[in-house]
Structure 1
Amino acid sequence: MKRVLVAGASGGIGAACVRALRTAGCVVSGVDRPEADLGEPGVAERVVADAVSRHGGLDGVVHAIGMSGRRLGDGPLEHCADEAWETLLQVNLTSAMWLLRAAIPALRECGGGSIAIVGSALARARVDADFHTVAYAVSKSALEALARVAAQECAPYGIRVNVAAAGLVDTPMARRALTDDRIGGRLGALMPLTGRAAHPGEVADVVSWLLSDSSRLVTGAVIPADGGWAR
């Protein structure tokens, strides 16, 4: 029975990950804002310590924290506001680095484990007017680099680190896109495998696989869960 910590567990993909992992037989600790803001120094260490204390160890970690910065002024590079840049890098990227840094010793103590980071197709997809948000794209691209570096460092300890790169998913964060008629008309081209936005549980199934022994040879990988978007 795997003991898993899910950060960003209160809604969207994170909540779906909690459900999928529990269905798979895992014992799950879920944390999210406001009770645990992993974008604040020292919180990741406390959250990991609490999970280890509660369940006697740690075998897996999911980072499903993310935000869009349009309301803060994210957009094309020439117009990207400083607040959007700084906030998205802190929330989307730095929180992941802090969580991994805190969790790796606990996973190593238990003989290894798996870390899954929820990324985005926008880390690799071609920029266009409907999804032109440089701070978001850069933060998600950097998550992929973080996963590769962590995977190389942690492989000798039996710790795997991977990214599940989601496309457009039916979550509150995607409400702007999902209610835009023009974007709705593009879904067949953006996500040709489904022709629709993904359900959170569909991405969670990929995350659950990355936490399972079925993916035991997979590390440092970016697994597209985007219906064919970033092709």
Structure 2
Amino acid sequence: MELIFQNQVALVTGGSFGIGRAAAIAFAQRGAKVAVADWIKDEENTTLERINEAGSEGIFIQCDVSKHADVKKLIDQTIATFGRLDCTFNKAGIEGIIAPTHECTEENWDKTIAINLKGVWLGMKYELTHMLLLGKGVIVNCASVVGLTGFKGLPAYVVSKHGLVGLTKTAALEYANAGIRINAVCPGVIHTAMIDRITGRDNEVEKQYTVMEPISRMGDPKEVAEAVVWLCSDAASFVTGHAMTVDGGFTAG
């Protein structure tokens, strides 16, 4: 695999599991040193082990992205360890509690928005501050296909992802002349722990989610990771402000 990120540093929030883990490994396989952040520590250190197996270096930093002090510490510690920050994948997010709009609690609304939207804004705030000093950088935010359309039963989640697409486009315009590109990925139904929580691993419920995909299967986290590393690479040098669907045709209909 070509080492397109050799001598570069990537940061992945929500990197202990699922799409975040796949992205951290994909960066490492292409030569990047990787800072992995999550509010839950992977006790088996699987992500870091896979980074090491790829011949790269990684660190884990525990971080609640909804907290200003945690996010500042995350960026400061990444730079203190590796000396720079070139690419960021702001993946950390939660689905919240499934309920229609009138039954969504204020607690669920506030927590979901705080992590999924405020958390990305806080991350970008400190990532951009460093990248402006560096004179370049790439940020990819993890939105969702439901950041482009509606979806019943997850009002706070849908709002957070719509907001994230808007934040991505706004920031992309603000820093386009500063050597910093900012994009979003919008995954469809990806087989992760989040989907397992939503479906309860019930085969019949899983089939309902699979049917949503014209490609007739759920996506794999690695497929989203490949889109992320492409957006961060020089191959995407003319791409900024884009919300890229990785959705098996979910939004095509």
Q: Contact (CA 8 Å) 2:151, 2:158: kept in 1 or not? A: no
Query: Hey, what does 1:164 align to over in structure 2?
Result: 185
AA partner of residue 190 (structure 1): M
AA partner of residue 162 (structure 1): N
1 CA distance for matches of 2:183 and 2:202? Answer: 32
2 CA distance for matches of 1:178 and 1:19? Answer: 27
Query: Hey, what does 1:199 align to over in structure 2?
Result: 220
Is 2:64 the partner of 1:37? yes
* Correspondence list, 1:80-119, <5 A: 80-119=104-143
Task: Structure 2: give runs of 5+ residues left out of the alignment.
Answer: 1-5, 41-61
Q: Per-residue displacement from partner, 1:66-115 (whole Å, max 9, x unpaired)?
A: 11112xxx422222111110000001111100000011011122221100
* TM-score normalised per structure 1: 0.92
The alignment partner of 2:175 has SS state of helix
Query: Hey, what does 1:24 align to over in structure 2?
Result: 30
Is 2:199 the partner of 1:177? yes
Is 2:57 the partner of 1:51? no
- Displaced runs of 4 or more, over 4 A: none
Partner of residue 127 from structure 1, selected from 151, 174, 184: 151
Query: Hey, what does 1:209 align to over in structure 2?
Result: 230
Q: Per-residue displacement from partner, 1:181-217 (whole Å, max 9, x unpaired)?
A: 4443334541112x11111111111111111111111
Query: Hey, what does 2:245 align to over in structure 1?
Result: 224
1 CA distance for matches of 2:76 and 2:210? Answer: 45
AA partner of residue 27 (structure 1): K
2 CA distance for matches of 1:230 and 1:92? Answer: 21
2 CA distance for matches of 1:41 and 1:56? Answer: 21
| Range with greater deviation from structure 2 (2-11 or 117-126) | 117-126
AA partner of residue 89 (structure 1): I
Is 2:165 the partner of 1:140? no
Query: Hey, what does 1:186 align to over in structure 2?
Result: 208
Query: Hey, what does 2:89 align to over in structure 1?
Result: 62
Q: Contact (CA 8 Å) 2:109, 2:156: kept in 1 or not? A: yes
2 CA distance for matches of 1:106 and 1:67? Answer: 27
Q: Contact (CA 8 Å) 2:189, 2:247: kept in 1 or not? A: yes
The alignment partner of 1:42 has SS state of helix
2 CA distance for matches of 1:208 and 1:56? Answer: 21
Q: CA deviation at 1:41?
A: 1.9
2 CA distance for matches of 1:115 and 1:49? Answer: 17
Q: Higher relative contact order at CA 8 Å, sep ≥6: structure 1 or structure 2?
A: 1
Task: Structure 1: give runs of 5+ residues left out of the alignment.
Answer: none
The alignment partner of 2:68 has SS state of coil
AA partner of residue 133 (structure 1): L
Q: Contact (CA 8 Å) 1:125, 1:229: kept in 2 or not? A: no
